[in-house]
Amino acid sequence: MGVPFFRCGVFIMNEKDQIVHTYLTTPDAKPLAVLHLGYESSQLTANAVKFWREQKVYTTHWDKEQFVAWVKSLLGQGQVFAAKTYQSGEEPPESLCLQYVPFAQGMLYVGSAEALNESQTDLVKQLANAFSAAYARYEDFRRLEEAKTQTEVALSRLKATQNQLIQSEKMASLGELTAGIAHEIQNPLNFVNNFSEVSNELLEEMRTELENGDLGDAKMIANDVKQNLEKIIHHGKRADAIVKGMLQHSRASTGQLEKTDINALADEYLRLAYHGLRAKDKSFNAAFRTELDPEVPEINLMPQEFGRVLVNLINNAFYTVTQKKKENIPGYEPTVTVSTRKLEDSIELRVRDNGNGIPERVLDKIFQPFFTTKPAGQGTGLGLSLAYDIITKGHGGELKVETKEGEGTEFIICLPLRKMEPK
């Protein structure tokens, strides 16, 4: 901006606590100090507060002795711990012009060898106005933090859970979903933020209408605010459901059967798996879709165990279509499809890919522990083995595979519709 200075800072006025929060730095952004000074702790702060309240520029000048006296007072108050750091050098400045330009929440401070001229001061005023708008936005976001606390705590719990999951192969696949979950949670959080900001603006408008005695418009605005709050509640519950569902599927299985919507479970895990892989590898891209039979009823099963099966099958499908895509086959579009169907006495769930298929020579080995077709270091061979045990032993169902080399693979889960009572 062409404004000469050798130290600068921001003074934020806290009227409630009568404290000036001060942040000082050098021109190259090297921090000098962070001070928290009472309004009446010194003549300098008292004058700064007075001029700020009047929204006037405050200017004063110190010589070397006055600067040294100021530093000694800060040392005595415990505000700074080293004079050399505060004065940014071995020696204090011989001359210091202190210029404070007000904005709504505080003052911008410019320390220079000589006083700023009128043109330079105007530039600092423009910067102060821009800073005021930016700081007001920051304060708006800060007010929303309380509304988002529960979700942020849940996210922290989720990350902590992930650290536990990676200790065992049985849980490792869920770790890959973390980024996908964060993506899914971010959507409702964005809605919460946006509707909160709009509601705040509407309330300001309503207050104006009430002051003007226009009850009709005030009531209309109140209805708009009510609709926004309903949307905030809806999206907040959506974020809460995502976190609760993930926490449920990430903990060790209790072996308890629960009434579960398989269509919802399949749809959720397909999207989470996709976004999780996208977060790990930005070059990853594949089409995915669902073909879910609305006639499929809820069924008693162990959702966390069944979720692990879905994670494994879907991730394997995305892996194989990605490998085929690397062959640069003209017209090839990698696609993964998850479908469900209600049969006479069972529910069928299929995970289909259009990859290269499974070679016939290894088809009878894929459910064996530690068998894998992936390169060394990319798979342990436990995923399909665990999935097979969960479906057949844990749920009394079947896990089958249909494949054709060069065209794709389809894993088929069949679960009986007979009544399964919780243990």
Domains of the chain and any CATH numbers: 7-116 (no CATH), 140-250 (no CATH), 258-416 (3.30.565.10)
- What is the distance between the alpha carbons of residues 245 and 77, in angstroms, rounded to a whole number? 52
353, 314 contact by CB (below 8 A): no
Spell out the per-residue pLDDT of the chain, length 423, in tens: 677 888 899 999 999 999 999 999 998 888 899 999 999 999 999 999 999 999 999 999 999 999 999 999 999 989 988 888 888 777 889 999 999 999 999 999 999 989 999 998 889 899 888 888 888 888 777 777 766 777 777 677 766 665 554 444 444 455 555 555 665 676 677 777 777 888 888 888 888 888 888 888 888 888 888 888 888 887 777 777 666 655 555 555 556 788 889 998 898 888 877 877 776 777 888 899 999 999 999 988 888 788 888 888 998 899 899 989 999 999 999 999 999 999 988 999 999 999 999 888 888 777 776 556 665 445 444 567 788 888 888 888 999 999 998 899 999 999 998 654 444
- What is the distance between the alpha carbons of residues 7 and 95, in angstroms, rounded to a whole number? 12
- What is the distance between the alpha carbons of residues 395 and 253, in angstroms, rounded to a whole number? 13
Q: Are strands 346-353 and 335-342 parallel, antiparallel or unpaired?
A: antiparallel
DSSP string computed for 23-52: EEE-TT--EEEEEEEETTSSHHHHHHHHHH
- What is the distance between the alpha carbons of residues 240 and 388, in angstroms, rounded to a whole number? 31
306, 395 contact by CB (below 8 A): yes
DSSP state of 422: -
Helix (H) or strand (E) holding 18: none
> What separation, in Å, do the N-terminal and C-terminal C-alpha atoms of the chain show?
73
Is residue 230 packed enough to be buried (19+ CB in 10 Å), middle (13-18) or exposed (0-12)?
A: exposed
